[in-house]
Amino acid sequence: MKNQIYAIPEDIMRGSGTQLFDHIAECLANFMEKLQIKDKKLPLGFTFSFPCIQTKLDESFLVSWTKGFKSSGVEGKDVVTLIRKAIQRRGDFDIDIVAVVNDTVGTMMTCGYDDQNCEIGLIVGTGSNACYMEEMRHIDTVEGDEGRMCINMEWGAFGDDGALDDIRTEFDQEIDMGSLNPGKQLFEKMISGMYMGELVRLILVKMAKEELLFGGKLSPELLATGHFETKDVSDIEGEKDGIQKAREILMRLGLDPTQEDCVATHRVCQIVSTRSASLCAATLAAVLRRIKENKDAERLRSTIGVDGSVYKKHPHFAKRLHKTVRRLVPDCDIRFLRSEDGSGKGAAMVTAVAYRLADQHRARQKTLESLKLSREQLLEVKRRMKEEMERGLSKETHAVAPVKMLPTYVCATPDGTEKGDFLALDLGGTNFRVLLVRVRNGKRRGVEMHNKIYSIPQEVMHGTGDELFDHIVQCIADFLEYMGMKGVSLPLGFTFSFPCQQNSLDESILLKWTKGFKASGCEGEDVVTLLKEAIHRREEFDLDVVAVVNDTVGTMMTCGYEDPHCEVGLIVGTGSNACYMEEMRNVELVEGDEGRMCVNMEWGAFGDNGCLDDFRTEFDAAVDELSLNPGKQRFEKMISGMYLGEIVRNILIDFTKRGLLFRGRISERLKTRGIFETKFLSQIESDCLALLQVRAILHHLGLDSTCDDSIIVKEVCTVVARRAAQLCGAGMAAVVDKIRENRGLDTLKVTVGVDGTLYKLHPHFAKVMHETVKDLAPKCDVSFLESEDGSGKGAALITAVACRIREAGQR
């Protein structure tokens, strides 16, 4: 370790803050010049040993000057900013100020390097202070409940509220009144080196005035403040020739002491220094007792790192301190470890740790940067979505277009005259529902629903098509019996939430399975035919399958029943998709140019042709590669609930492998695919959730995390979910803008019916998505209406509308 000591002249100590920090910058420049490192931008640790309010590791506001400093314009200011400005004023070197620390903290850090039990720092020199490791749960001013943080006590101010008035003497009061900061740092004035010699002097003056010393004679030197130094106290209490030393010092002060005067002076020095050590020991004992209680330990083993001229140079101070502490806390095994240049070396160590952490933070931010999208990037996603929509609608390019823009043959929304009883089936995931929907019109207009949920075992999902549809029909039979309607024939709407090519309202060809389904013999087949065949195989009942619909269309229809402006449907749940009312003239796959038809976009496949590759990250690629359908549904894998947790898990693994998280230890649980469910994202991002609860979630997942780990995990969840909401918003902006342009309108008022767990349950997804749509489609006034059971109720409403139109046609 190389160092250089520079003096600070008294006129600078009491001048302006600018002068002081310019002087510090000049000393720093000279030192760097001497070491020939002025051209390098090095990290700097700044030990600033005055009472400060620290808001960050590199931000510390001076509360008040002590130790004789009086530089103006500094109190209440951030000292790091002041030194940065001084360096900038010079302009001949640059420094990265990473940490500002108190000398007491530096002392603890230095000793902690040699002894891991060191959790207290103590300075007894010109001034006095202590620090210790406190439990985070007790620090109300800092967020977080886990782990520990070093607390800079600033114990010199103990007693400023009058708590020590009963033990302060007239001499303490006189010292305080004559100090630069009366009424402040009262404890420090009782124990530290700056005042110890002065206390002895005042006692000697009083004893002389009372003719107890020096034959009642006083000298001008003895009456002058500061002429009896703390060094004199140490010399007089020295092991050898203390009495002789007292004689020499008293004679230097213009006195002619007797042997008794010298002995008495020696005794006064002893009393003053012993009181100082005892007071210091009592407060240290209180700190040790607190740490012991925090740890709930029967016996505490701890180390105190100590620095300061009084502790190191006074011949008996350290021994008296140790003895008194051990007497006051007999249930603690205490080691005192002298710091070698704690304030300098400790600051460097804090800086080294902070620099490593800052380096890790930069590395994490660089990774997360690829998931943060600018407005320009989102506008580009919107432009490409519109382009892909056009390709899907066009007869010429439809076959190769990933966004299929499938006609649904739903050409009308509810008008309020629908009525009757309808059955609805809802198949879109591992759970399957059967519903009875009663639609009423007139004064009692409304929808009454009864439903029952059935699970689909994995072996059925992965078996044959016959097994799957036989299971569905079995569930329908059970429901009809449950409702007391066995043998009744009702119109049925079938919500089938998989990519299909619809040839008519009651004919829908399954293009490909998604969401983990793999039943054989279904792809390329009409699902209505497969359902009817299974009903005939059972020979128990017959049903009129009027309409097969997508859950997104069902969502739009449900909301359309409440709001006539609803012409768009959106699902953001396990998967994601959208639909909207397109002009018939643009739906080239269906004949006719009049009116409108709902188009099922199947937007989950947006990007399957590579058009989103410049927005996809290595984590998206990893999730896609290990999915059931690699290379397919790429947009869905970036925005939907089934995959967001997996994206987060892959980022956490990457961070851990690089030593940026979980102390570089990858648990077996973290390696498990699917462990990080999207519901945990919603929980972790909840505004009311403290970091302790985030840590509890991670612990539940088998991840042993610190408070810092919890903060990082929360940030990753936020970034991944925000990107999903923004991408979804960019896609929706493309849809509403297309409707507006189709109709040649300057402005469009439209409602989007929305369903899906991610949209409904995530604390921020909906808000971010709404903001993105508003920003990217400013000419559209878009409202969002949450759907209540779009996939079930919606299917019944489409069936009701179809029956209404069919009956009108028959009439």
Catalytic residue IDs: 433, 497, 551
Whether 628 contacts 516, CB under 8 Å: yes
DSSP 752: E
Measured CA to CA, the distance from residue 206 to residue 171 in angstroms comes to 9
Measured CA to CA, the distance from residue 631 to residue 608 in angstroms comes to 6
- What is the distance between the terminal CA atoms of the chain, rounded to a whole angstrom? 100
Beta strands 596-600; 300-307: pairing state: unpaired
Whether 583 contacts 567, CB under 8 Å: no
Measured CA to CA, the distance from residue 315 to residue 238 in angstroms comes to 6
Residue 405 CB burial class (10 angstroms; 0-12, 13-18, ≥19): buried
DSSP 448: E
DSSP 44: E
Phi and psi at 39, nearest 5°, equal -85, -5
Percent composition of the chain: helix, strand, coil (DSSP 3-state, to 5): 50, 20, 35
Whether 774 contacts 783, CB under 8 Å: no
Tell me which residue of 170, 132, 192 sits closest to 317, measured CA to CA.
192
Tell me which residue of 281, 291, 244, 283 sits closest to 265, measured CA to CA.
244
Measured CA to CA, the distance from residue 202 to residue 218 in angstroms comes to 12
Which tokens hold the place of 667?
A: 């648990």
Q: In which residue are the tokens 């995390």 written?
A: 705
Measured CA to CA, the distance from residue 41 to residue 276 in angstroms comes to 44
Whether 545 contacts 776, CB under 8 Å: no
Element spanning 723, H or E: helix 707-742
Beta strands 128-135; 118-124: pairing state: antiparallel
Which tokens hold the place of 592?
A: 């006719």
Task: Return the CA Rg of the chain.
Answer: 39
Q: In which residue are the tokens 């390329």 written?
A: 524
Element spanning 54, H or E: strand 52-56
